[in-house]
Amino acid sequence: MEAPLHPTQALFSIFTDPRRVFDTIPRRTMALLPVGLALVGNVTLWIWYYQTVDFAWLQERLIAQNANLGDDVSRQAAQSILTRGSLLTMSVASALIAIPLLVAVLAGYLLVAGKLLGQGRSYRQWFGFAAWGTAPTLLLLPVMALQILLARSNQIAPEALNPLSLNYLLFNVGDASPWYGLLNSLNLTSLWSIALLAIGLRRWTGRSWGVAIGAALLPFAATYAAWALKIVVGG
User: Is residue 46 packed enough to be buried (19+ CB in 10 Å), middle (13-18) or exposed (0-12)?
Assistant: buried
Does the global pTM surpass 0.85?
A: yes
Alpha helices in 158-208 (DSSP H): 166, 180-185, 188-205
Give 5-42 pLDDT, tens digit per residue.
888 899 999 999 999 999 998 877 778 899 999 999 99
Using 50, 70 and 90 to split pLDDT, how confident is the model at 215? very high
Lowest mean pLDDT among 2-11, 44-53, 184-193: 2-11
Lowest mean pLDDT among 20-29, 47-56, 223-232: 20-29
